[in-house]
Amino acid sequence: MWAIGVLTLAVVPLLSCENRSETLTMNPYYSRTDTTVLNLPDSTWKRILPAEVYAVARKKATEQAFTGKYWNYEGKGRYYCAACGNSLFRSDAKFASTCGWPSFFETLRKDGVRYEPDRSYGMNRTEVLCGRCGAHLGHLFDDGPPPTGKRYCMNSIVLDFEPDEPTKTVR
Q: Residue 140 in contact with residue 104, Cβ under 8 Å?
A: no
Binder of Zn ion out of 49, 53, 84, 129 (CB under 5 A): 84
Decide if residue 81 touches Zn ion (CB under 5 A).
yes
Backbone φ and ψ for 88, nearest 5 degrees, come out as -120, -50
Instruction: Give the up-direction half-sphere exposure of residue 66: CA atoms within 13 A in the CB hemisphere.
Output: 4
CA-CA distance, 41 to 20, in Å (whole number)? Answer: 23
Figure out which of the listed residues 93, 113, 135, 140 binds Zn ion, where binding follows CB under 5 A: 135
137 binds Zn ion per the rule CB under 5 A: no
Q: Which of 55, 88, 129, 133 binds Zn ion (CB under 5 A)?
A: 133
Kindly state the DSSP code that residue 146 receives in the 8-state scheme. T
Sole binder of Zn ion in the list 56, 113, 129, 130 (CB under 5 A): 130
81 is catalytic: no
User: With CB under 5 A, what is the number of residues at the site for Zn ion?
Assistant: 8
Judged by CB under 5 A, the residue of 49, 55, 56, 83 near Zn ion is 83
Backbone angles phi, psi at 114, to 5 degrees: -135, 170
3-state SS class at 138: strand
Q: How far is the CB of 1 from Zn ion (least distance, A)?
A: 30
Minimum CB distance to Zn ion smaller for 10 or for 102? 102
Catalytically annotated residue among 81, 130, 133, 153: 153
Residue 97 touching Zn ion (CB under 5 A): no
Give residues with Cβ within 8 angstroms of 8, minimum separation 6.
Answer: 69
In the complex with Zn ion, the residue whose CB is nearer, 86 or 97, is 86
Cβ contact 34:40 at 8 Å: no
Binding residues for Zn ion, per CB under 5 A? 81, 83-84, 86, 130, 132-133, 135
Which residues are catalytically annotated? 153
